[in-house]
């Protein structure tokens, strides 16, 4: 039993730095639909190039995000860019497992994309580069 836990711990320790050191990863900040902003959670605070908070969350203003402050960890994911999001309708539900996330705090934003949703609207996807020490594993 202890060997199984040690093996799992070793796998997590090796996976987190490898994930963080790859090309940029993304976090989803929220959804933009018909000009209305719906943050994924209130714990994401977005800032422009001048360090000022994004006051009017329009597509143009959100495209200028250069930094985000996270009050809680945010899941890291593959960047979809401005293309449509892949459908998982025919996939069976996955079992809960460990997934990488960026720890709470400030993250530098390299770019912003708006992947289209099939039901209308767009996600606001922040491309971030995360140092290995900021990656945490969450059960999801």
Share of the chain above pLDDT 90, in %: 41
Is the CB of residue 26 less than 8 Å from the CB of residue 125?
Answer: yes
Instruction: Indicate the average pLDDT of the chain.
Output: 80
Q: Provide the whole-model pTM.
A: 0.75
Q: Which of 29, 10, 6, 134 is nearest to 79 (CA)?
A: 29
Q: How far apart are the first and last CA of the chain?
A: 23
Return the higher-pLDDT residue of 81 and 61. 61
What confidence tens digit (pLDDT) does each residue in 46-65 have?
A: 999 889 998 778 889 999 99
What confidence tens digit (pLDDT) does each residue in 95-107 have?
A: 888 999 999 999 9
Model confidence at 67: pLDDT above 70: yes
Show me where the domains of the chain are located: 2-139
Q: Which two tokens stand for residue 114?
A: 């708006």
């Amino acid at each position: 039993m202890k060997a199984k836990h040690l093996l799992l711990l070793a796998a997590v320790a090796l996976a987190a730095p490898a994930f963080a050191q790859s090309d940029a990863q993304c976090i989803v900040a929220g959804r933009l639909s018909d000009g209305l902003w719906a943050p994924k959670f209130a714990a994401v605070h977005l800032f422009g190039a001048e360090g000022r908070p994004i006051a009017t969350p329009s597509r143009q203003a959100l495209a200028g995000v250069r930094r985000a402050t996270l009050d809680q960890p945010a899941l890291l994911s593959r960047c979809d860019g401005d293309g449509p999001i892949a459908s998982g309708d025919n996939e069976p539900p996955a079992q809960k497992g460990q997934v990488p996330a960026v720890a709470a705090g400030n993250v530098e934003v390299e770019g912003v994309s708006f992947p289209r949703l099939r039901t209308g609207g767009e996600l606001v996807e922040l491309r971030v580069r995360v140092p290995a020490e900021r990656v945490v594993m969450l059960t999801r």
